[in-house]
Structure 1
Amino acid sequence: MARSKEFDVDDVLGKAMDIFWRQGYEKTSMQDLVAGMGIHKRSMYDTFGDKHTLYLKAVERYAEGFAARNYGPLEAAPTVKEAIRRLFEAVVYREASQPKGCLLVNSAVELSVHDPEVADRVNEAFFRTEQLLEQLITKGQASGELTAALPAAALAACLHNALVGLRVMVKTTADKDKLQSVVDTTLAVLG
């Protein structure tokens, strides 16, 4: 008869995600993971496989959480501009308990060049965000709220690039005024 897990899989995956987010893949040892997750090494291997597989699951969890935290509230925004602003400001005004920056961006910089599986996960998440931006821009252009001087896809790509850059900036500065200025200037392209 199989033994039931003596830990909550989702909870320990969240702990692993946090460790990878704070330290990166290469700097995170198996001992860091075992200690931080609060489980035995054997249990980690039995449940998640090797470090790389655990990392991929952590990246997927992060992407799902980012979307859940940030995409859902956009529907309640009174305007398209406000929805896009909320997406950008969620990066600037994140919870203080969260590590700085973005696990997806960290993964892209650290691993994507030589790890196609990580690159696929990152590109998929980035594509979803860019797609969301394009949908919002298309809606705003159709209603006349946003400029139609540029194609929605081009504006979405530009905004997504700025959003990724903002995710990097939050790692390097605590100057909220500067970050807010970047958001305001970026969103000025919307008309």
Structure 2
Amino acid sequence: MARSKEFEINEVLDKAVQLFWVQGYEKTSMQELVDFMGIHRRSIYDTFGDKHALFMKALERYDAIQNKKMRLLVEKQAPVKELIRQFFESTIKKEGEPQGCFIVNSGVELGLSDPEVASLVEDSYSKTEKLLYNLVLVGQQIGEIDALLEPEAISHYLMNAWLGLRTMVKTATDQGKLSRIINTTLAMLD
């Protein structure tokens, strides 16, 4: 008779996300995953596969959670520029999470050597850029954002600024500097 799982999959997967997010793929050993996730090595292999498969599941889980947060933000009834500001500020106001971004970290660490990671990262970036593009269009339609700006170019610009901020937040100690970067970025929309 097969044993039933004695853990909730998303709970242990969230622990894998945390460990990979802090340490990266290469620096995380299977034993550290076993210890941190609190399940047996065999359970990891049976449920998720090898370390790489677990890493991909962790990236997918993180991406899904981030997409849900972005959708909830966009659904708020607020001015478009305020939504974009909140989008950027959510990067520097992380409570209970590691600094930076698991997707960005993974792209930097493995993007050139792992096509599967590169594809997931690119897909994640594309979804975010599309969200920014749609916000810019709405902002232009209601007169909040300069109608002469090219929406695609502005969404690329905002994406680049956001990625830079997500990288910078890992080492920046001056919160005022990060806020000024956000203010300068948003000033481009006037």
Report the TM-score range of the alignment, normalised by the length of the smaller protein: over 0.9
Q: Deviations over 1:70-117 (max 9, x none)?
A: 33123214211011111000001111x211110011011000001000
Identity, % of aligned pairs? 52
User: So what's the TM-score if we normalise by structure 2?
Assistant: 0.97
Give the aligned partner of residue 21 of structure 1.
21
Q: More deviation in 162-171 or 149-158?
A: 149-158
Cα distance between partner residues in 1 of 2:69 and 2:93: 13
Cα distance between partner residues in 1 of 2:36 and 2:13: 10
- Asked if the contact 1:74–1:83 (Cα under 8 Å) also holds between the matched residues in 2, the reply is yes
Cα distance between partner residues in 1 of 2:75 and 2:181: 23
| Unaligned residue ranges in structure 1 (runs of 5+) | none
Cα distance between partner residues in 2 of 1:5 and 1:87: 38
Give the aligned partner of residue 122 of structure 1.
121
| Unaligned residue ranges in structure 2 (runs of 5+) | none
Cα distance between partner residues in 2 of 1:158 and 1:140: 16
Shift of 1:69: 2.2
Provide the aligned length of Structure 1 versus Structure 2: 190
Cα distance between partner residues in 2 of 1:46 and 1:174: 42
Give the aligned partner of residue 66 of structure 1.
66
Give the aligned partner of residue 38 of structure 1.
38
Which residue identity does 1:57 align to in structure 2? K
Give the aligned partner of residue 188 of structure 2.
189
Give the aligned partner of residue 110 of structure 1.
109
Cα distance between partner residues in 2 of 1:187 and 1:2: 56
CA RMSD in angstroms comes to 1.0
Shift of 1:184: 0.5
Q: Determine if the alignment matches structure 1 residue 173 to structure 2 residue 163.
A: no
Secondary structure of the 1:171 match is coil
Give the aligned partner of residue 156 of structure 1.
155
Cα distance between partner residues in 1 of 2:47 and 2:119: 23
Give the aligned partner of residue 3 of structure 1.
3
Give the aligned partner of residue 132 of structure 1.
131
Q: More deviation in 45-54 or 170-179?
A: 170-179
